């Protein structure tokens, strides 16, 4: 059965074209790579950033996290997208300070808690994971993993929640941000996993991470957040501003498909005797339909992902038989790539949709 991708995934596709302003050639060394090779290459590109002083962060927030009015802070723990937040902080004058409740002051939130890396530098002052947030909500989050909860024990004024995890694979307490900022935080964690790739052997980690890397339950959730909450203008602006201070960038804001190429559907898995699968696509060029013939699979059904030449997912299909026919009527003419995945087994191919 052919399935159209959701509007959110299509929006993700469009966002690829506008999601950042890196210097020309910044990512050249990462071209045509996937998996660990891509992660290592991106690490080398964004490594050795300018280390800031912790006291510098207050001033940095005045450009990285300021609203369009130029005087108030953008707090992801209190902001109500499309609505009016219960409180808004003025730059500098709203800094913590002591707090007894929500709305008292803002402080410096290590979204990747500092205890997870032993309070060490340069992570301790790396702006990419440090946000200005309400002190009281920050305290409620503490060192909890990010997650999702269906039975919150506490809820902030903007709907951020603390409660037991409802994410498969983890049962402890979590902090769930509002949907509008889940993608922001996912890309923050992808940045940390890549910037400190191979440099985290002494980190104690957490229930959410092994060193800098998200654990499997967290990675699956973060990829879902990344896909559903696409890169925003706020993120692009923040990326550009942090770049001015640190000299490096968040690759997953500039190029959202990098997350898929390292951890997701675009990661080319090396074939072994156990997972080698053959695939035949016909007719090729296709007009209104395409047959997918596969052999060597040990599972059924499988999922076929179809991408355009820009690496953007345009369609998925369920492959349930040795030969599956899918409609290509809605695909514009051009070259497409197909990847069939099931339980670690991978088959890839390419086909052309002919002009009609």
pLDDT of residue 273: 38
Asked whether residue 109 carries a pLDDT value surpassing 90, the answer given is yes
- Range in 83-92, 125-134, 325-334 with the lowest mean pLDDT: 325-334
Asked whether residue 13 carries a pLDDT value surpassing 60, the answer given is no
pLDDT digits (tens, 9 = 90+) for 39-55: 999 999 999 999 999 99
pLDDT digits (tens, 9 = 90+) for 300-323: 677 888 887 767 788 888 887 678
Task: Tell me the average pLDDT across 331-353.
Answer: 79
Which CA distances in Å does 17 have to 154, 312, 331? 39, 10, 19
Locate the domains of the chain by residue range: 2-263, 278-353
- Range in 59-73, 143-157, 265-279 with the lowest mean pLDDT: 265-279
pLDDT of residue 132: 98
Question: Measuring CA to CA, which residue among 192, 224, 228 is closest to residue 210?
Answer: 192
Asked whether residue 19 carries a pLDDT value surpassing 70, the answer given is no
Asked whether residue 9 carries a pLDDT value surpassing 60, the answer given is no
Counting residues of the chain whose pLDDT is more than 70, the rounded percentage is 87
Q: Share the mean pLDDT of the chain.
A: 88
Of the pLDDT bands very low, low, confident and very high (cuts 50, 70, 90), residue 222 is very high
Of the pLDDT bands very low, low, confident and very high (cuts 50, 70, 90), residue 110 is very high
pLDDT of residue 345: 67
Counting residues of the chain whose pLDDT is more than 90, the rounded percentage is 69
Q: Where are the alpha helices (DSSP H) in the chain?
A: 7-15, 35-46, 57-64, 135-141, 182-195, 216-228, 233-246, 251-254, 257-263
pLDDT of residue 298: 59
Of the pLDDT bands very low, low, confident and very high (cuts 50, 70, 90), residue 190 is very high
pLDDT of residue 246: 98
Task: Tell me the average pLDDT across 157-161.
Answer: 98
Token pair belonging to 11 = 């929006």
pTM of the model: 0.74
Asked whether residue 88 carries a pLDDT value surpassing 60, the answer given is yes
Which architecture, in CATH terms, is 278-353? Answer: Sandwich (2.60)
pLDDT of residue 352: 87
Residue 48: HSE in the Cβ half-sphere, 13 Å Cα cutoff:
2
pLDDT of residue 275: 47
- Residues sharing a CB contact under 8 Å with residue 22, sequence separation 6 or more, in sequence order: 249, 254
């Amino acid at each position: 059965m052919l399935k159209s991708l959701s509007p959110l995934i299509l929006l993700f596709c469009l966002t690829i074209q506008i999601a950042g302003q890196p210097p020309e050639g910044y990512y050249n060394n990462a071209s045509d790579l996937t998996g660990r090779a891509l992660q290592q290459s991106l690490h080398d590109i964004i490594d050795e950033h300018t280390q800031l002083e912790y006291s510098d962060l207050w001033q940095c927030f005045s450009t990285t996290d300021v609203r369009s009015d130029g005087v108030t802070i953008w707090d992801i723990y209190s902001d109500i997208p499309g609505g009016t937040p219960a409180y808004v902080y003025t730059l500098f004058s709203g800094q913590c300070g002591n707090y007894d409740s929500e709305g008292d002051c803002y402080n410096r939130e290590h979204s990747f808690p500092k205890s997870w890396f032993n309070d060490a530098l340069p992570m301790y002052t790396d702006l990419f994971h440090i946000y200005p947030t309400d002190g009281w909500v920050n305290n409620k989050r503490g060192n909890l993993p990010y997650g999702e909860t269906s039975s919150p024990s506490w809820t902030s004024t903007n709907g951020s929640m603390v409660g037991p995890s409802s994410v498969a694979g983890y049962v402890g307490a979590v902090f769930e941000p509002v949907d509008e900022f889940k993608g922001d935080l996912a890309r923050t964690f992808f940045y940390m996993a890549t910037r400190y790739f191979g440099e985290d052997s002494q980190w104690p980690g957490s229930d959410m991470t092994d060193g800098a890397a998200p654990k499997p339950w967290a990675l699956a959730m973060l990829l879902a957040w990344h896909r559903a909450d696409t890169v925003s203008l706020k993120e692009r602006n923040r990326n550009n501003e942090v770049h001015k201070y640190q000299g490096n960038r968040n690759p997953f804001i500039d190029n959202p498909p990098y997350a898929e190429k390292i951890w997701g559907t675009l990661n080319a898995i090396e074939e072994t005797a156990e997972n080698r699968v053959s695939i035949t696509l016909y007719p090729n060029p296709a007009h209104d339909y395409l047959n997918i013939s596969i052999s060597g699979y040990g599972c059924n059904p499988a999922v076929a992902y179809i991408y355009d030449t820009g690496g953007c997912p345009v369609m998925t299909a369920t492959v349930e038989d040795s030969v599956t026919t899918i409609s290509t009527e809605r695909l514009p003419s051009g070259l497409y790539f197909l990847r069939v995945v099931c339980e670690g087994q991978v088959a890839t191919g390419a086909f052309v949709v002919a002009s009609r």
